[in-house]
């Protein structure tokens, strides 16, 4: 069995690094969105919410209890 050329290893490494960076960026972006959403909800509960404007649209996300209990 022949050994793969170095270029294949470099290509595979570059693909792996690019995939890891893409996944990390996506996870970070989603966690930031969730955190910001929770902060908006917390401010809304405490009465320190910012007014709804064109640059600050209303937050329509509703937190759901995921404990598994039914009605």
Q: Where are the domains of the chain?
A: 1-49
Find the DSSP H helices in 1-71. Answer: 6-46
Mean pLDDT of 63-67: 61
On the 0-12 / 13-18 / 19+ scale of CB atoms within 10 A, 40 is middle
Q: Could you tell me how many residues make up the chain?
A: 71
Q: For residue 40, which of 57, 23, 17, 21 has the smallest C-alpha distance?
A: 57
Global pTM reads 0.50
Q: What is the pLDDT of residue 22?
A: 95
Collapsed DSSP state (helix, strand, coil) of residue 39: helix
Each residue's pLDDT tens digit, 7-64: 888 899 999 999 999 999 999 999 989 888 888 887 777 766 555 555 655 556 666 6
């Amino acid at each position: 069995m022949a050994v793969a050329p170095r270029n294949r290893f470099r290509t595979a490494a570059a693909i792996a690094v690019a995939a890891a960076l893409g996944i990390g960026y996506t996870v970070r972006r989603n966690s930031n969105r969730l955190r910001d959403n929770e902060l908006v909800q917390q401010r809304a509960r405490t009465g320190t919410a910012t007014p709804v404007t064109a640059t600050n649209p209303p937050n329509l996300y509703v937190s759901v209890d995921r404990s598994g209990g039914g009605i």
